[in-house]
Amino acid sequence: MEQNNFKETVLRISGVNPKKCMRCGKCSGACPNYDEMEFHPHQFVSMVENGEIEKLMTSPSVYKCLTCFACVERCPRQVEPAKLIEAVRLCVIRQAGQNHLKPDQIPEMLDEDLPQQAIVSAFRKFTK
């Protein structure tokens, strides 16, 4: 994955348009894990817009996000910062190697105890 494509990839995966942000900061006002994060929800939006994706990819903030979607719920302009953070996480996963999930590999990975939701989540994570 080329460096200057990161922004485009993040925007495509997330479906978010960071230009809709009016810099009100309600996402960061709502965030329950704000103090644990180096970069806060509102910064994610502006950093993605500025193309600073690599900085985000190497920050532990990506994993401190609880994915509680409070920022998505409260955003008055439907910018959906949590979806951007999820997209950055996916960029990291893809960077780590070709771990796309192939359909023929699935049956052997399944057992009766595996919740169905986990399979759906795996698809979401590995196929984008």
Partner 1 sequence: MQRIGVFVCWCGSNIAATVDVKKVAETLGKEPCVVYYENYQYMCSEEGQNKIINAIHEHKLSGIVICSCSPRMHEATFRRTAQKAGLNPYMVEIANIREQCSWIHKDMATATEKAIILGRAAIAKVHLNTPLQAGESPVVKRALVIGGGIAGIQTALDIADAGFEVDIVEKKPTIGGKMSQIDKTFPTLDCSACILTPKMVDVAQNEKIHIYSYSEVAAVKGFVGNFDVTIKRKARYVKEELCTGCGACTEKCPQKKVPNDFNLGLDNKHAIYIPFAQAVPKVATIDPDYCMMLKTGKCGVCSKVCAAGAIDYKQQDELVQQQYGAIVVATGYNPIDLKNYDEFAYSQSPDVVTSLEFERLTNAAGPTGGVLLRPSDRQHPHTIVFVQCVGSRESGEGCGKTYCSKICCMYTAKHAMLTREKYPDTEVYVFYIDVRTPGKNFDEFYRRAVEEYGVHYIKGMVGKVSPENGKLMVQASDLLDNKQLKIEADLVVLAAAIEPDPSARPLATMLTTQMDTNDFFTEAHPKLRPVESATAGIFLSGCCQGPKDIPETVSQASACAAKVIGLLAKDKLLGNPCVAESNELMCNGCSSCEKVCPYGAISYVDKEFKMPNRTIAVRRVANVNPAVCQGCGACTVACPSGAMDLKGFSNSQIMAEVDAICK
Among 45, 48, 65, 70, binds partner 1 (CB under 8 A): 70
Among 5, 8, 15, 25, binds partner 1 (CB under 8 A): 25
62/92 Cα distance (integer angstroms): 10
75/105 Cα distance (integer angstroms): 39
Q: Minimal CA–CA distance to 79: which of 3, 18, 127, 9?
A: 18
Q: Minimal CA–CA distance to 71: which of 35, 39, 37, 25?
A: 25
Residues touching partner 1: how many (CB under 8 A)? 21
Site for partner 1 in 80-109 (CB under 8 A): none
Among 1, 4, 35, 102, binds partner 1 (CB under 8 A): 35
Applying CB under 8 A, the span of 6-14, 31-39, 60-68, 98-106 interacting with partner 1 comes to: 31-39
